[in-house]
Amino acid sequence: MQPPLCDRGPGASRAASPTGPRPLALREALSAWYAQRFGLNIPARRIMITAGASAALQLACLALFEAGDEVLMPDPSYPCNRHFVTAAQGQAVLLPTQAQDRFQLSAAQVAEAWGQRTRGVLLASPSNPTGTSIAPQELRSIHQFVQSKGGITLVDEIYLGLSYDDTFGHSALALGEHIVSVNSFSKYFNMTGWRLGWLVLPEALVAPVERLAQNLFICASTIAQQAALACFHPESIA
């Protein structure tokens, strides 16, 4: 077991950049977690530690979208997500979903709604508030269509660790590098209130998002980052 933060020396609470050397241990721990739990090779350099998942999605939207860009989203969905698109001067286009569709978008819906100003889709799997997940093949079809249009697929995976059905317990990152995944320590890792999250980004987005993060947030709490390392001890992971 690690000693308390107060016993770990001054380096435990120094400032850090989102992807710089000081938070490397946490990003490496996440990289190893993706390999262990999902069989995915996610390099630490593609992982950005953020001040919660909300900051992660805000940074992604600011980096990806410009004034007038449209982003397709399911309705119902988490209300704040559409506001992050608005903050980037984009327009969230809410597409109605039904229970028979698991309250998730289909590739056919995305294709029908895609317009000249559409830049991407923002999904959540599992979803808040519905609790449903996108079937892996449907997610693959959506992503393939979005890629064919030169768009971006963003997936909120905050609740992914709490998916107990093997059919739906797969990360969207399995579809390749051109996915933006938003995640958080609040749910699966039970660190609600610590305001710590992360992004997994395509290589080309790492530098732009880091520049935004440094100006908007400086960095995520280094104390929270040190505490989060305890999540990856063998006795801590179910």
Q: pTM of the full predicted structure?
A: 0.88
d(CA 214, CA 205): 14
- Identify the architecture of domain 26-232 in CATH: 3-Layer(aba) Sandwich (3.40)
Predicted local distance difference test score (pLDDT) of residue 21: 38
Per run of 10 residues, the mean pLDDT along the chain (length 238 residues) is 52 52 81 95 97 97 98 97 97 96 96 98 96 95 98 97 80 96 95 96 96 93 94 79
Predicted local distance difference test score (pLDDT) of residue 4: 52
d(CA 14, CA 8): 12
Instruction: Please give the backbone phi and psi of residue 40, each rounded to the nearest 5 degrees, phi first.
Output: -110, 145
- Domain definitions of the chain by residue range: 26-232
Nearest to 109 by CA among 69, 65, 141: 141
Predicted local distance difference test score (pLDDT) of residue 238: 59
CB 39: neighbour CB atoms within 10 A?
10
d(CA 18, CA 2): 23
Predicted local distance difference test score (pLDDT) of residue 234: 80
Predicted local distance difference test score (pLDDT) of residue 177: 93
Predicted local distance difference test score (pLDDT) of residue 154: 98
CB 157: neighbour CB atoms within 10 A?
24
